[in-house]
A and B are shown apart, each in its own frame.
Chain A
Amino acid sequence: MADKILNKIYVKVWRQNSPKAKGRFETYTVENVSQGTSFLEMIDILNDQLILGGKDPIAFDNDCREGICGMCSLYVNGHAHGPDTMATTCQLHMRKFNEGQTITVEPWRVGAFPVIKDLMVDRTAFEKIQQAGGFVSVNTGGVPDGNAIPILQDDAEEAMDAAACIGCGACAATCKNSSAMLFLAAKVSQFAKLPQGQVEAKRRAKAMVAKMDELGFGGCTNTGACELACPKSISIAHIARLNREYLKAKIAD
């Protein structure tokens, strides 16, 4: 249980004061970090150091710190969310790093996610994709009983697999094309598997893909990097379903 102490590590961080400002890397030294500390807590320690030293702390997004809100978004040493698998940055611990190591921390590099400050990026583009069609058009009230339409257990499970997406953007951040296809597929596939979602499946697939293209995300070239980087391990099989839904909709036009 007793975790080792890292006497000294070097953290190379992207600093950029505002969206338009020119950014640069700064390297900081952090001492005496327990390997049981989470990565973001290590940044907390570093920030405390910076504030006490009269410097501006590093801005980074984080909130729930338990891997579900999708707010944290750091690219650490060549990996979206760092070198741990099936984990968000907030679930990454210092056990994954060694004494004296230099850790490079960058913001998501996606054209559609401009940097706001330091490691914070603007993921409004994801919101716009959801707003384009990531819903079932029902108003509150006047819906049938929850058990009125039976749903095959396997379908419900597969819908849930897709619905597990936390919208963090690691898929687009890691994709060499900055493609948002896995993010989009997760929503389209969830609804395609459920009778409630099938009603407007065609409209949804077309609208969401068109929005993704419009916002400047790249296309999918099936490298599969997204599913490896995804903290929820959402399978690219959902992308196949999105493609199918999209083609069905387009052919019908």
Chain B
Amino acid sequence: MSILNSKIPEGPISQKWSNHKEKIKVVSPNNKRKLEVIVIGTGLAGASAAASLSELGYNVKAFCYQDSPRRAHSIAAQGGINAAKNYQNDNDSVYRLFYDTVKGGDYRSRESNVYRLAEVSPNIIDQCVAQGVPFAREYGGLLSNRSFGGVLVSRTFYARGQTGQQLLLGAYSALNRQIAEGGVKMYTRHEMIDLVTIDGKARGIIARDMVTGEVKRFGAHAVVIASGGYTNVYFLSTNAMGCNVSASWVCYKKGAFFANPCYVQIHPTCIPVHGSQQSKLTLMSESLRNDGRVWTPKKKEDAEKLRKGIIGPNDITDTDRDFYLERRYPSYGNLVPRDVASRAAKERCDAGFGVNSEGKAVFLDFKYSIERLGRHTIEKRYGNLFQMYEKITDVDPYTQPMQIYPAIHYAMGGTWVDYNLMTTIPGLYAIGEANFSDHGANRLGASALMQGLADGYFVLPYTIGDYLANEIMVPKIDTNRPEFIEAENNVVARLENLFNIKGKTPVDHFHKKLGQIMWDNVGMARNAEGLTKAIKEIQELRKEFYKDLLVPGEMKNVNPELEKAGRVADFIELGELLARDALNRNESCGGHFREESATEEGEAKRDDVNYAYVAAWEFKGIDSEPVLHKEDLFFETIQLTQRSYK
């Protein structure tokens, strides 16, 4: 029996959440006024949680590293948000959304959490409409839906190509209302550097004011981590420059288990890397695969000529083009799920058919759909995306095929949480992308927004009460307690340590090196040899980092290099854990592909007998190996089957 208690409520799956809500404790309004909650991060999960908790009467302190809560990276989500509304009369239901999400996650998520997610999803849409989110509408004035990859119904709500932005601005407006009313105290340009625990319970944080450099203490009765995903461990990803794992990581080091770090999503349609100075990758919406055909040349010599720029893509005739997705997956064709499409592109490029100068790109061609539907229709559907593509690459996608390549996009793994979204540290919660709970080994399109808002609006505000009801006698947390002073001293010592190395290498160089190790060995295809090598290389990189890091500027001033140094230090440690987790999981599932676990055709092969569990890692010291705890996954409602898209 594992020491992990996931606290899944009893009863049939459809009754669990309602039963649980009836049983958990509630804090009275006059007691809520006495309680404080810290929320780290102001993306969809953080902003919605902070606003909702404040509306309930709690005193909330919200933190973000940006200059405004509105800039959290949820803002960049394009496609949409799923909800089991069944407005289209296409036989959608809570069960179907639940089923699709579990299957899409390759049967590596916790059934009870996913069912609850599907169950509250309709409320999210209602809430957002009431906030004034301008969702797309039909002529009759009702909400419009589109369909997304991996599902048979039309359940995705959207606001042009800016759904994440609009949902975040909705949550941000609710947050602003609470800030104005005094329920939320907002700390922008503040970065959490440590978690403070007292008697084993989360009681506050240490944060650095990124403008003055001051290190400050903040106390609360509970701490909520909503700081997003960790995919910047790969240096190049679709995440924002500032996205980091540090908040989650300090919690891990204080005893919160970290689950399934090896599950990262690789998005197949990003603009390829360009040169060595690239700082970040740009995603092109998944919807493009509805009308674009993916291909590489059939002949290697054509690919070589393309790479040298001797010929252009339009010089290659149709018969010399290899539409490899249509060839390998005739039934799904260009619309196979993200992980499958990504691996197929890598396979072609590794085989020498890559089409850009670096040999790391494939074509996404709209010639055929323009011929079939006319340029006007394509312009209407994808005009803004085409314009964005042209701005970045200076190539006109109406006349030349786009070049695309997979890129790291989303972290399914994260801090381990129970059904109440509480981590293994009492009083510490993790919500949104920061936790591991809902997407298993692969996330479906338009589900990240759903999960962030479900956690923040409709789950955490209930479940946190169950814990806080026992804390009502605890007075306002005194930040002069020795635990706070010690934590602050540790933070200052850590920052000074980084600052005083005074080596020769700026932090970005280490970050790029780490990213290269990760991408080469812990990327789209992984094997034991590469992973073992990666762990060793990362350990060496860590030593080099603490020997040769160069942080310029001043401690007590704006210092982006110092901020980055702290983040990269944590990424290096996470990178090692990620590789370790990937090494441990000798099966292929969702975003995690082990070459040792493949079918004869090279497709992913899951191993339900040995790996149907959540891998939760416990920190045991920086130079000791972490301890693996397994939470076995039970599938009572859905039968496990192998995914096939042939």
Contacts and interface: CB of A to CB of B under 8 A. Distances in A.
Interface in A115-169: 116-117, 120, 122-124, 126-127, 130-132, 134-141, 143-147, 149-153, 156-157, 159-160, 163-164, 166-167
Given A65-B279, A87-B391, A153 B139 contact: yes
A146 B129 contact: yes
B391 to A, nearest CB: 6
A65 B141 contact: no
B134 A159 contact: yes
Nearest to A1: B395
A65 B356 contact: no
Interface string B118-141: 000001011111111111111111
Nearest to B558: A117
A37 B55 CA distance: 46
Given A65-B280, A159-B134, A160-B160, A59 B176 contact: no
Contacts of A196: 129-132
Interface in B257-295: 274-275, 277-280, 282-283
A156 B166 CA distance: 12
A193 B76 CA distance: 24
Contacts of B134: 156-157, 159-160, 163, 190, 193-194
A3 interface: yes
Given A52-B506, A70-B71, A152-B141, A120 B162 contact: no
A36 B358 CA distance: 14
A67 B75 CA distance: 10
Contacts, number: 225
Contacts of B392: 38, 91, 93
Interface in B470-525: 504, 506, 508
B502 to A, nearest CB: 10
Interface string A65-83: 1111111000000000000
B143 A135 contact: no
A135 B176 contact: yes
Interface stretch (B62-70, B324-332, B615-623): B62-70
Contact of A2 (B51, B127, B309): B309
A59 B558 contact: yes
B139 A135 contact: no
B374 interface: no
B152 interface: no
A160 B167 CA distance: 12
B527 interface: no
A93 B133 CA distance: 32
A63 B141 contact: no
Contact of B76 (A61, A66, A152): A66
Given A63-B240, A136-B130, A68 B391 contact: no
B52 interface: yes
A3 B356 CA distance: 13
B407 to A, nearest CB: 12
Given A18-B557, A44-B277, A156-B136, A57 B177 contact: no
A191 B133 CA distance: 9
Interface residues of A, number: 82
A40 B55 CA distance: 40
A62 B66 CA distance: 9
A17 B557 contact: yes
Interface residues of B, number: 86
B144 to A, nearest CB: 8
B137 A151 contact: yes
Contacts of A194: 132, 134
B176 A131 contact: yes
B160 A84 contact: no
A18 B556 CA distance: 11
A150 B142 contact: yes
A31 interface: no
Contact of B132 (A41, A66, A69, A136): A136
B162 A164 contact: yes
A55 interface: yes
Interface string A212-226: 000000000000000
Interface string B554-567: 00011011000000
Nearest to A61: B67
7 contacts: A68-B162, A69-B71, A138-B127, A156-B136, A163-B166, A167-B68, A190-B134
Given A137-B177, A166-B75, 6 more contacts: A57-B560, A63-B241, A65-B240, A91-B391, A134-B173, A136-B130
Question: Which 8 A-B pairs have CB atoms at the shortest separation, nearest pair first?
Answer: A150-B141, A135-B173, A143-B130, A159-B134, A160-B134, A117-B558, A146-B129, A156-B137
Interface of B: 48, 51-52, 55, 66-68, 70-73, 75-76, 85, 87, 123, 125-143, 159-160, 162, 165-166, 169, 172-174, 176-177, 179-180, 186, 188, 211, 238, 240-242, 274-275, 277-280, 282-283, 309, 356-357, 387-388, 391-395, 457-458, 461, 504, 506, 508, 550, 552-553, 557-558, 560-561
Interface of A: 1-3, 17-18, 34, 36-38, 40-41, 44-45, 48, 50-52, 54-57, 59, 61-71, 84, 86-87, 91, 93, 95, 116-117, 120, 122-124, 126-127, 130-132, 134-141, 143-147, 149-153, 156-157, 159-160, 163-164, 166-167, 190-191, 193-194, 196-197
